[in-house]
Amino acid sequence: MKWLIIGISGPTCSGKTSVAKKVHENIKGSILINQDAYFLTEDDPRHVLIPELNHFNWEILSSLDMSKMYSDIKNIIETSNEDIRNGESDEKLKFLIIEGFLLYNYKPIADLCDKKYFIDIDKKVCWDRRKNRVYNPPDVPGYFDKVVWPEYLRHKQEISSNKNLNETTTFLDGTKPINELSDEVIDEIKHCLN
């Protein structure tokens, strides 16, 4: 059995979660994993405090349990492969969609992705969308300008400066409508399968 693993990434409020859900809805039998489910709890000692804001930095890999996310992904793949060996499934191709803002900055997960998409937006669009969202814990004043956007630029630079990642990632314009973006991803996946 073969897995096609699709990564959908980008900055906060870029539309990646909405696109991933639409792709998931349109690919029968696909599995969707959301990186946000792996944020550490607020009381976890691994968090990095930003002293001048008295707020944790939620925009870095250490704010997430990435080894657990990777383990869960591997478990899904291996369990499904075991089902095939036991004759419990006759599907030849399975689809796993992984969505999150730091997928490609964690090499073990980036290496699993057969198709990589990165939805990009500029700072103004990002802020216009983010300022209306409610987070738990809530953003403190100055968090976007001092942490969110600079961390995003750093993460994007890591991807751009990695030749392999840059060449294997499809960059999408996050100002396009969600349906248009999800159609681009779905059409490309269908094209690859033909």
Q: How high is the pLDDT of residue 136?
A: 87
pLDDT in tens, 124-148: 999 999 999 998 889 999 999 999 9
pLDDT score recorded for residue 92: 74
Cβ–Cβ under 8 Å, residues 63 and 47 = yes
Active site residues per annotation: 36
Q: Say which residues have a Cβ less than 8 Å from residue 169's Cβ, sequence separation at least 6.
A: 104, 116, 117, 118, 159
Specify the DSSP element, H or E, that contains 9.
strand 2-9
Indicate the burial class of 105 (C-beta count within 10 angstroms; 0-12, 13-18, 19 or more): buried
Residues 6 or more apart whose Cβ sits within 8 Å of residue 77: 3, 96
Q: Using alpha carbons only, how large is the chain's radius of gyration in Å?
A: 17
For the residues 155-175, what does the mean pLDDT come to? 95
User: Do 96 and 33 contact (CB within 8 A), yes or no?
Assistant: yes
Vertex 183 angle, CA 177 and 185, to 5°: 110
Whole-number pLDDT of residue 86: 52
Pairwise CA distance, residues 99 & 180, whole Å = 18
**Band of pLDDT at residue 192, cut at 50, 70 and 90:** confident
Asked whether 105 and 158 are in contact (CB, 8 A), the reply is: yes
The angle, 0 to 180 degrees and rounded to 10, between the axes of the packed helices 16-26 and 178-193 is 50
**Does pTM top 0.85 for this prediction?**
yes
Could you give the domains of the chain? 7-86+117-192 (3.40.50.300)
* Count of positions (residues) in the chain: 194
Sign of CA dihedral 41, 136, 100, 72: positive
Mean pLDDT, residues 58-78: 96
Span 73-129, pLDDT tens digits? 999 998 876 555 555 555 678 999 999 999 999 999 999 999 999 999 999 999 999
Q: Which residue has the higher pLDDT, 139 or 194?
A: 139
Question: What would the mean pLDDT of 46-66 be, rounded to a whole number?
Answer: 97
Number of helices (H) and strands (E) in the chain: give both, helices first. Answer: 8, 7
Integer distance in angstroms from the first to the last C-alpha of the chain? Answer: 17
